[in-house]
Chains A and B, each alone.
Chain A
Amino acid sequence: MAQRFMAIAFCHLTTDWMVRRRPELRATPFVLAAPERNRMVIKAVNVVAAANGICCGTVVADARAVYPGLEVFDDKPQLAQQLLKALGEWCIRYTPVVAVDLPNGLILDISGCAHLWGGEAAYLNEILKRLSAFGYHVKAAIADTIGTAWAVCYFGDQGAAIVEPGRQAEALSPLPAAALRLEDTVVEKLRKLGFYQVRSFLHMQRRALRRRFGQAMLDRIDQALGWVKERIEPICPIVPYQERLPSLEAIRTKTGIEIALKKLLEGLCKRLEKEGQGLRKCSLKTYRVDGRQQIIEIGTSRASRNIQHLFKLFEDKISTIAPGLGIELFVLEAAVVEDLPANQEAIWSTTTGNQQALIAELIDRISGKVGEKAIHRYLPAEHHWPEYSLKLADSLEERPATEWPLDLPRPLHLLPIPQAIEVTVRLPDYPPMLFHFQGKLHRVKKADGPERIEQEWWLRKGEYRDYYCVEGEQGARYWLFRLGHYDNATPEWFLHGFFA
């Protein structure tokens, strides 16, 4: 079957994308620039800037001299590739084979696809219309070979061109030499020799061309004319981790839902195991006969593909599904997956790896029932201010980076908010003699301190605290502090914790 290819060129790929994200930039001339040899060089221009005569490769300072109102943003080097990949994945709706053509194009193998849209002209228009609707300035061309399609797309006069089958040579003839995707040095040499158009050297003796310009040029000509096949590397989209289970008869019972869920989990976990992945978030979607959809979701604290465990997490939530007249379709989807290397079968069930997996499952069960915010594990943070001296751990595997400080007395119970107390102090900077807390008088028998803790001025402002450890008559030990110093009339005192 005759092959047909389509080349799509995005004239202002990155700048159009910025306009899409920030519509207020539509009418302003702006460029994207990146440092190159200690100068800011323009890497991409938007439509308005291009109309004002600014082009890529200019130094920003020069461009500003030409057009003072120019806005400059930083250029991200990987952005174009990411955008093209995303656009390529979007284009898979038109053909299964899509390749990225850096720096700003896509190549589509459309053999046998165009008739589904009613012919090539309609197909081409449809794609251009949809892409233009996104806000991209695009050109496209269809031809028998990638080379011709690319040449006509980038160097042709029309925005949308179709080269009839077998007419490559005619289409290429009036185009400049650069349309053949030649190296810059070869193009320059051709220009010097007066070969401005392809037609002036297309039918020359191959021997003569090879001697002067090398084999690469002949390969390009052959590819463009269709004498040699050219390969492209198609984009492989990631298949979503999804399992579907349509049921012949509408399911209305809890047992039915459980069986469906087990079946779906088996399928999903099999695939996860094959690919060395484990899921972190998963949702079960049920489609009811009357068209209503219901979702139950679970999350795990660590990647898992244990069917029993995942089923148990779902089990608590199955009762929230109202089956109504019956459920006809179940869809199980793992929204977030993570690498989970296949673990060796444990001989002893008391190994630490297995222990952590069991604990992770327990945490999942608790956070599924009580809420994700309920589980805390702490690691030391290097701050003296008691409230900030610890931070939350991200995972069970995380170990403390620094030692837990043990040199200074810290209470076992720390009140989340210090409680105001009234004290009697013999002399400034002495520990209190007695204090009132919650309507009760405590006489201080022994005391330690003060330990001054300053606010970290680079993080936040506020008064320092002078901490005292005091022991009451009954033997109870408290952690008190005075906020600030004695300069102003009466400083405030607080109870902040209890020692064991």
Chain B
Amino acid sequence: MTAVSQKEIITRLKQDLLVWEGFKRTDADKAGAIGMGSIEDHFPEKVFPKGHIHEMISYQPESAVATNGFISAITGKLLGDSGFCVWVSAARTIFPPTLALFGIPPEQVIFADVRTQREALWTIEEALKCEALTTVIGELSELSFGDSRRLQLAVEKSRVTGFIHRNNPRSENTTACVTRWKIDPLESTGHPEMPGIGFPCWDVQLLKVRNGQPGNWQLEWNGDFCHLQPTMLAIPQFQKRKTG
């Protein structure tokens, strides 16, 4: 009897801790599975954390584009028909028509093309405070711990989901972001005898997730997230990183 009640107390305390850490969840937030399959099991309460800041890290232009593709795919799931998204960048190379391929109606994206990193950070924070937006995507290289906390405080009030894509950061410093991802391109699958290129494939690494389990997955994007079978993979060994 006491053991059961102890367990209950511990779960309740864990829930409380989540709330104190900024994991305020409305029922609407809990409801939506966004079709990421087994990845979602690694998040706290097995739901993709909306209304938080997610951090993506990339070093090469090739992985930068894979990262943006992954962000776009998630945003496309969150956005729906009437949502708006703000994309803040100091050196934008996104070609808007292609966003339609990832489920984002390109006319629902507002691009803020700023000049400096400082302006980008200010714009991201202003956008995150705007409750009418669904997601905010910011391309920054450096994000200090203090800045990330400012952004986290902004979203706790407005419940906007933020993605910070850090291309070529000087260091992978600690931030207040709820997750940290690293996305690399993978060779596209398809029939080996057939010529041509298939759907985009990514090696998705969830390096950090607060109150969740880090993990590593191989995904294919064909309008939905599709997990690749390990046997179909032909990844060079050096690309695999031990995480977790």
Contacts and interface: CB of A to CB of B under 8 A. Distances in A.
Contacts of A369: 119, 122-123, 126
A500 B66 contact: yes
Given A352-B82, A471-B197, A374 B96 contact: no
Contacts, number: 171
Majority SS at the chain B contact face: mixed
A454 to B, nearest CB: 19
Contact of A477 (B115, B119, B188, B235): B188
B97 A499 contact: no
B168 to A, nearest CB: 14
Given A375-B112, A398-B107, A475-B235, 20 more contacts: A355-B132, A362-B126, A366-B112, A370-B123, A373-B113, A378-B106, A378-B107, A405-B97, A411-B65, A413-B95, A414-B94, A414-B95, A445-B187, A469-B197, A471-B188, A474-B62, A498-B65, A498-B93, A499-B65, A500-B65
A416 B197 contact: no
Interface string B131-144: 11100000000000
B213 to A, nearest CB: 26
A497 interface: yes
Interface stretch (A85-93, A275-283, A385-393): A385-393
Pick from A390, A446, A472 the residue with the most CB of B within 10 Å.
A446
Nearest to B113: A374
B200 A499 contact: yes
A376 B110 contact: yes
B65 A412 contact: yes
Interface of A: 352, 354-356, 358-359, 361-363, 365-366, 369-370, 373-380, 386, 389-390, 393, 398-400, 404-406, 409-416, 445-448, 469-477, 497-500
Contacts of A379: 107
A475 B187 contact: yes
A447 to B, nearest CB: 7
A496 B236 CA distance: 27
B202 to A, nearest CB: 8
A416 B95 contact: no
A447 B196 contact: yes
B162 interface: no
Interface residues of B, number: 57
A413 B65 CA distance: 6
Interface string B43-78: 000000000000000001110111011101000000
A377 B109 contact: yes
A210 to B, nearest CB: 70
A356 B130 CA distance: 11
Given A370-B119, A378-B106, A411 B185 contact: no
Nearest to B93: A413
12 contacts: A359-B133, A370-B112, A378-B111, A390-B97, A404-B97, A410-B98, A412-B98, A446-B188, A448-B195, A470-B197, A475-B186, A498-B62
A398 B239 CA distance: 45
A500 B95 contact: no
Contacts of B101: 406, 410, 412
A381 to B, nearest CB: 10
A354 B201 contact: no
Contacts of B66: 476, 500
A374 to B, nearest CB: 5
A472 B62 CA distance: 10
Contacts of A399: 107
